[in-house]
Each structure stands twice: as C-alpha cells, then as structure tokens.
C-alpha cells in the first residue's frame, strides 16, 4: 500500500534541527518519511536516524523509502507511541544522546485519504479513527457507548465546539434507534444539531471540530503531550533541538506553555530581586512565535494552512 505524505514546513524543520552529518536524530511521528527522508540525506557515517510511529503501514512504507535513500547513516524504525519514546529507545538498545527531535502532530495525508480509516468527514466510511489499528478503542465505540456528559466533555475540551451539548444530545437520541457506525451518519448528526444560521462563516465544514475531538479522544493525543515533551528534552544532548509542529490551538497551547516553562521554570514571586527557588532553565526558546507556512507552500499544500512550528534548544551546562 502506498503511504503518501506531504511534509509540512519541511525547510523550516531542517533549518530548525541544525543537522550535523554525524548527529543522532529522532522523528517521533515517522508517517510517510517525508521529513525523515530529507534528514537522512543529510547524515553521513556515524549519523543515526530513529523513527517512531503507531501505524504499521507507516513503518513498512517509511522503511522502504528510507532504505532507498542509500545513506551511510544508521536507521531504525520503532513501532509505538512517541509518548513512550524513552522506553522504546531503551528496548531497542539505543542509548545515544540525540542532537535533534522532530514531532509532527498532524494526521498524515495517507490516513486522511484512505477512506476506510474513518478520519475524514468528506467520505462515507466506518467510524474508526485509530492511528494504531491494533488498539481496541474506536470512534464508533465512543459515539455509541459513552454518556452524553462524556461526549459533551470531549467535544468541548478537545475541539472547543460551541454546540457540544447539542451534538452530544442528538448522538444519544439517534443511537437509541440504531448504532451509529459510519462517518456519514455522524456528519448528518452534526448537521441536524447545529442550526444553519449559526454555522461558522469561515468556510470550514460544520463537522470538522467533532471529528477532531473524536480523533483526539480515540488516540489520547493531548493528556500525555506535556510530560512527553519534558521527557524528550531529557534525551537531547546539549545544543540539541526539539521541533514540534502543531495543527490546532489546543496542541499549540500545550507546546507553547511547556516550552516557556522549561525555558523559565522559576516560581519565585515577581517581586523577589533574585531567584531563590533554585529551578534552572533546561532549554532556550529558538522561536518565540510559531513559524507558519509560506505562501508558496500554502499553494502547493493547503493542509499546511494550520501548521505551526515551535523550536527549543537544550542548554549546555552552565548556561
């Protein structure tokens, strides 16, 4: 199966990683190896690239693509969740410090375009949305078994959906008659729950937020993100960089706040003339504002419209 993925903010990521030919790099969301293939091309003897992905299709396709690069650097593909990166690296026997880490938090083009995966509200498909198809929880199970209050919470907290309660209520009413099993059924529910005169005027699909919320819930994307970012910075060598691409405000807020706290962890009252809490910064901010796609990239890849890149650099001892 062809696994196609257009890497967003590619040049910005490559510049942000500041790649050394003999360095060690981790792509936490390997996908179709769009970013990784370009990283590997820049590595020479002594270089190392490790990729992590939950999707078995991605692992197989990325491995084939990266082998075709023909780089003298070592490459390892690990199946799992990047939230568990330290353990995955240990289990693989990789104990080398990293010089750069990349996380692309977006859904891959392949996952969106393969109808059967159920990520897209444009197609009629089973309600699945699993990035790791070996896991049990699907969007269909959430929609058909979770309480109205839980559905309301997911839609409200994971998508900032103003009509969360109404959508949750219609879901619970409809499933009494028959299970909700397809994306088309869910789109119809959202359409019935949101009055047409209150639809967003930005041209976005009315079901976009609902699908985003369910995908986040199915794949547990937000809760582990902050501790994962902290753990990943611990894997970096001094001077190593962590680059994170986000695609919605909830992710970006977590990344921004975590990076700011790592760069300025002091908890002393602002009135104190000097720090007495003893908490020292572990990173410095390379980007104080998110990097976004250029007009040229937006024309080539409309999915880069909502992408934001933030970068930090691990401080050296004594900085």
Residue 142 has pLDDT above 50, yes or no: yes
pLDDT, position 113: 67
Going from N- to C-terminal start, the domains of the chain cover: 10-105+222-314, 124-219
**Cβ proximity of 108 and 58 under 8 Å:** yes
Nearest-angstrom CA–CA distance, 192 and 168: 11
Domain 10-105+222-314 architecture: 3-Layer(aba) Sandwich (3.40)
**Cβ proximity of 250 and 107 under 8 Å:** no
Residue 230's CB: how many other CB atoms inside 10 A?
13
pLDDT, position 110: 64
Pick the CATH number of 124-219 from 1.10.150.170, 3.40.50.800, 3.40.50.2020, 3.50.50.60: 1.10.150.170
pLDDT, position 217: 97
Average pLDDT over residues 3-27: 92
Percent of the chain with pLDDT over 90: 82
Average pLDDT, the chain: 93
- For 310: left if phi > 0, alpha if psi spans -120 to 50, otherwise beta; the answer is beta
pLDDT, position 200: 60
Residue 2 has pLDDT above 70, yes or no: no
Least confident of 26-30, 113-117, 166-170: 113-117
183-242 pLDDT, tens digit each: 999 999 999 999 887 776 556 789 999 999 999 999 999 999 999 999 999 999 999 999
Residue 23 has pLDDT above 60, yes or no: yes
Least confident of 101-110, 122-131, 262-271: 101-110
């Amino acid at each position: 199966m062809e696994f196609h993925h257009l890497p967003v903010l590619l040049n910005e990521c490559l510049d942000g990683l500041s790649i050394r030919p003999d360095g060690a790099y981790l792509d936490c969301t390997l996908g179709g190896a769009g970013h990784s293939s370009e990283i590997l091309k820049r590595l020479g003897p002594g270089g190392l690239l490790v990729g992590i992905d939950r999707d078995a299709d991605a692992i197989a396709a990325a491995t084939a693509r990266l082998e075709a690069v023909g780089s003298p650097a070592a490459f390892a593909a690990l199946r799992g969740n990047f939230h568990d990166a330290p353990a995955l690296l240990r289990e693989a026997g990789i104990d080398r410090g990293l010089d750069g880490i990349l996380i692309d938090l977006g859904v891959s083009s392949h996952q969106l375009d393969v109808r059967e995966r159920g990520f897209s509200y444009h197609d009629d498909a089973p309600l699945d949305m699993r990035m790791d198809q070996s896991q049990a929880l699907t969007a269909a199970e959430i929609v058909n078994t979770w309480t109205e209050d839980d559905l309301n919470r997911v839609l409200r907290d994971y998508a900032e959906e103003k009509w969360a309660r109404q959508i949750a209520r219609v879901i619970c009413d409809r499933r009494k008659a028959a299970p909700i099993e397809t994306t088309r059924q869910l789109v119809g529910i959202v359409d019935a729950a949101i009055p047409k005169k209150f639809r967003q005027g930005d041209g976005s699909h009315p079901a976009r937020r609902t699908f985003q919320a369910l995908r986040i819930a199915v794949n547990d994307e937000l809760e582990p993100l902050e501790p994962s970012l902290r753990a990943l910075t611990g894997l970096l060598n001094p001077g190593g960089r962590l680059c994170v691409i986000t695609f919605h405000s909830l992710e970006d807020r977590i990344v921004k706040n975590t990076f700011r706290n790592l760069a300025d962890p002091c908890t002393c009252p602002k009135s104190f003339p000097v720090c007495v809490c003893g908490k020292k910064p572990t990173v410095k901010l390379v980007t104080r504002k998110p990097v976004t796609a250029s007009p040229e990239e937006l024309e080539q890849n409309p999915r880069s419209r909502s992408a934001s890149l933030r970068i930090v650099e691990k401080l050296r001892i004594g900085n």
